[in-house]
């Protein structure tokens, strides 16, 4: 890997839709093949040459205790959301950095494809072959997907929970992105401007700014003419957001007919 890249994993959320599994641990610490999901993420990032890794903790943060990473704390995780969690790691948000949700499993090829995207300062990973993931997925319906509509240039025109069942969308944002040094500057500049303008007020699709998702800030930036690039993939990842997701994942791990790699090889 030519670039010197770090990573930030956002792992502060309650994971309430995974109760009772998350009653005694954060969802990133749910076990898969003998190690927590976060452990698989870290191993995959390191296999791709990313060794400087930070994790933002919140809910049951003391249970996230893997070694070899830097920790940041979101003390207000109950009252804010993913965007604010990421900004808790602002000291690590510099240079070339990959940011990701803590509840996704992904193959190394997803990271490698993102790292090879060099023509945008802000690039998000978008799965264009995403709809089949929602077949039979009752606890996380289609209209809750963080979808993306491409511009004519293949960049972000619309992003967020934009109603995939009622309009054409081009893919799903998987919860992973890359920023260049210029991209981190743009991201923080627009975050601060929006925070000062919208704190305690509605912001894009969020009821208040502090409850905003990353997608809300991306939509704001796109509306203002900032280019948000799209790194497209086809499969190679899984979201573990509900009890249904977790149970299906554990079953898949023990099913030789399901072609997963990177730790989904056996059930524990």
- Quote the CA–CA distance of 268 and 262 in Å, as a whole number: 15
What's the whole-number mean pLDDT along residues 203-227?
Answer: 98
* pLDDT at residue 71 tops 50: yes
pLDDT tens, 192-212? 999 999 999 999 999 999 999
- pLDDT value for 268: 22
- pLDDT value for 256: 29
Identify whether the C-beta of residue 75 lies closer than 8 Å to the C-beta of residue 136: no
What's the whole-number mean pLDDT along residues 166-182?
Answer: 90
Q: How many residues does the chain have?
A: 268
In the chain, the percentage of residues whose pLDDT exceeds 90 is 74
Local confidence band at 32 (pLDDT 50, 70, 90 cut-offs):
confident
- pLDDT value for 138: 54
pLDDT tens, 40-68? 999 999 999 999 999 999 999 999 999 99
Q: Exposed/middle/buried for 25, CB within 10 Å: 0-12, 13-18, 19+?
A: middle
- Quote the CA–CA distance of 220 and 120 in Å, as a whole number: 17
* DSSP letter string, 237-265: EEE--SHHHHHHHHHHHT-TTS---SS-S
Please give the distance of CA 20 from its chain centroid, rounded to a whole number. Answer: 23
Identify whether the C-beta of residue 237 lies closer than 8 Å to the C-beta of residue 110: yes
Beta strand pairing status for 147-150 and 52-57?
unpaired
- pLDDT value for 120: 96
What's the whole-number mean pLDDT along residues 230-244?
Answer: 92
pLDDT tens, 249-268? 888 765 322 333 333 322 22
Second-level CATH architecture of 5-253: Alpha-Beta Complex (3.90)
pLDDT tens, 131-162? 666 655 655 566 678 999 999 999 999 999 88
Q: Where are the domains of the chain?
A: 5-253
What's the whole-number mean pLDDT along residues 229-236?
Answer: 95
What's the whole-number mean pLDDT along residues 12-19?
Answer: 92
- pLDDT value for 140: 58
What's the whole-number mean pLDDT along residues 178-203?
Answer: 98
- pLDDT value for 249: 82
Identify whether the C-beta of residue 73 lies closer than 8 Å to the C-beta of residue 57: yes
């Amino acid at each position: 890997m030519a670039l010197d890249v770090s990573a930030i994993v956002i792992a502060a959320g309650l994971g309430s839709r995974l109760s009772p599994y998350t009653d005694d641990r954060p969802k990133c610490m749910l076990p898969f093949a003998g190690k927590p999901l976060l452990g698989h993420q870290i191993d995959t990032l390191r296999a791709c040459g990313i060794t400087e890794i930070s994790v933002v903790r919140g809910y049951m943060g003391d249970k996230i205790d893997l070694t070899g990473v830097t920790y940041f704390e979101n003390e207000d995780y109950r009252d804010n959301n993913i965007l604010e969690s990421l900004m808790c790691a602002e000291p690590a948000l510099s240079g070339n950095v990959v940011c990701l949700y803590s509840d996704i499993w992904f193959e190394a090829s997803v990271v490698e494809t993102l790292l090879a995207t060099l023509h945008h300062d802000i690039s998000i990973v978008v799965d264009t072959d995403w709809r089949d993931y929602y077949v039979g997925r009752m606890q996380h319906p289609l209209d809750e997907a963080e979808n993306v509509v491409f511009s004519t240039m293949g960049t972000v025109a619309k992003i967020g929970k934009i109603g995939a069942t009622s309009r054409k969308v081009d893919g799903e944002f998987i919860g992973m992105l890359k920023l260049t040094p210029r991209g981190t500057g743009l991201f923080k500049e627009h975050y601060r401007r929006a925070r000062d303008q919208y704190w305690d007020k509605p912001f894009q699709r969020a009821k208040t700014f502090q409850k905003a998702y990353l997608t809300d800030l991306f939509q704001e930036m796109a509306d203002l003419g900032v280019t948000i690039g799209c790194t497209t993939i086809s499969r190679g990842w899984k979201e573990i957001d509900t009890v249904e997701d977790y149970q299906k994942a554990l079953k898949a791990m023990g099913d030789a007919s399901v072609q997963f790699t990177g730790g989904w090889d056996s059930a524990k």
